[in-house]
Amino acid sequence: MNEMTKPQLSQHAYSDAAKKALSRRPALFINNEWVWPKTDATIAVIDPSSGKEISRFVDASDADVDRAVAAARTAFDDGRWSDLPPIVREAMMHKLADLIDAHADEFAELEAIDNGKPKGMAAAVDIPGAVGMLHYMAGWASKLGGDLIEPMSAPRGAYHSYVRREPVGVAAQIVPWNFPLLMAVLKIAPALAAGCTLILKPAEQTSLTALRLADLVAEAGFPAGVINIITGNGHTAGDRLVRHPDVDKVAFTGSTEVGKIINRTATDSLKRVTLELGGKSPVIVLPDVDIAEASGGAAGAIFFNSGQVCIAGSRLYAHRSIFDKLLEGVAGAAAFWAPRPSLDPAGHMGPLVSSEQFDRVMGYIEAGKKAGASVAMGGDAPPSDGGYYVNPTVLVDVKPDMSVVQEEIFGPVVVAQRFDDLDEVAKSANDSCFGLGAGIWTRDLKAMHTLAAKIKAGTVWGNCHAMIDPALPFGGYKQSGLGREQARQGVEAYTELKSVIIKL
């Protein structure tokens, strides 16, 4: 691409709906009301496409967090949500999903402005995903139940014994910046279905869609205090939530480093914890594939959402016989993934979320080169008017102990390596402290199932990548997290079991 045809990397105009959201006075959503904080501290909203401040929101204090937790605690203890007929709770969740869908274009634009992802991608993936998650989880509200069990150590009929499944209580939910609305709903929906009340804290980099969601919570008719949304920094507001004695459950998605801190902190009061953490997912390509299809899939696995995906296919293992051709195919996809501003309708990959993330990704690229890696593609940042853009990057000549191979970069950077046989590549794929996802490309059914059984990851994809569905449990092995989200298991994570035994 020559200089004359390069896109102008500056943001497009905002809609009136977006301008209205950006002009909102900083406030917190507690007890179905917008309340003014106990602090004057605020956090800037930065548009990653331009690097410019466009709004501000509340940096909640301890007193603000305490107020939100008290609202959720009261709402749970008096049963205004958990005691409702399940079909009523289900209907309210469906209504919230429908309201999000009715404002889909606005949510997609806010997500693009706040996170940097292309609006078209948010409209195709993030918003429908959030709507679908709510609709799916709503159905569980009327389907959760316990079991009637005959004791094995007593005569039949001597005891009436059963197991109740009850909501765990008040949930603190802390979500990341890479899929802000989708991650928020992924946390909110199972908690609501189980009968819990909650406090949601969106990431300090991306709070716009969570704040807009709060308007719809009230419109959908949820009782006051069931869903509370506060903004603030993770090390202050997030930490206060995790430590709070009236919080029964913590659900966090984010980095493994922060997840470990949360897990240690929650242990003091033995809070129930679900953690969905980092990943370094391998993509394994066997020699029998269609090169064009596999190279396009491998490119999408790492460049989608600018590589800011916990399951990004950031380690590419291609059989030696097709390695060069596969990399040619990945390079051929570079034009499609060339970074553009988030509101550019021609864009498929936007900027990184922040200047900090830009520095992190570029630092990893430089560290890789210093360690001996070669840049086969990209490795640099395109000219821009201040946004946080990084070109799609492929590193080769890497060694297993390099930081670019072992650590989560969270950017559009893939390390490509050769392999000769299945045992070798299975060992290499498992040579990581992470175990969130993995992809396998082959027409050989036996090889597919053999590798799927050997790879230590919570999800294994065959001839695709990042296919996520609410009906399938999601989570990681090793340091990629604790527990599972989505599906029945995701709802049950917000419940406790109680055995009741009555002598007749």
Write out pLDDT tens, residues 108-160.
999 999 999 999 999 999 999 999 999 999 999 999 988 999 999 999 989 99
| 308 DSSP assignment | -
Distance (Å, rounded) from C-alpha 368 to C-alpha 175? 30
What predicted TM-score, i.e. pTM, was given to this entire model?
Answer: 0.95
- Would you please indicate which residues are annotated as catalytic (active-site) residues? 276, 310
DSSP letter for each residue of 125-141: IIHHHHHHHHHHHHGGG
Amino acid identity, residue 450? T
Say yes or no to pLDDT of 20 above 50: yes
Tokens of 90: 């289900």
Give buried/exposed letters for 442-454 (b at 16+ CB in 10 A, else e): beeeeebebbeeb
90 pLDDT tier (thresholds 50, 70, 90): very high
Instruction: Estimate the crossing angle of helix 208-220 against helix 86-102, to 10 degrees.
Output: 130
7 pLDDT tier (thresholds 50, 70, 90): very low
Say yes or no to pLDDT of 468 above 90: yes
Contact 461, 474 (CB under 8 A): no
Write out pLDDT tens, residues 316-371.
999 999 999 999 999 999 899 999 999 999 999 999 999 999 999 999 999 999 99
Instruction: Please state, as a whole number, how many other Cβ atoms lie within 10 Å of the Cβ of residue 279.
Output: 30
DSSP letter for each residue of 212-274: HHHHHHHHHTPPTTSEEE----IIIIIHHHHH-TT--EEEEES-HHHHHHHHHHHHTTT-EEE
Write out pLDDT tens, residues 374-402.
999 999 999 988 999 999 999 999 999 99
9 pLDDT tier (thresholds 50, 70, 90): low
204-225 average pLDDT score: 97
Dihedral pair phi/psi, residue 18, rounded to 5°: -65, -40
11 pLDDT tier (thresholds 50, 70, 90): low
Say yes or no to pLDDT of 220 above 90: yes
What is the reported pLDDT for 8?
53
What is the reported pLDDT for 2?
35
Tokens of 489: 């298991």
Type and span of the H or E element at 114: helix 104-115
What is the reported pLDDT for 1?
33
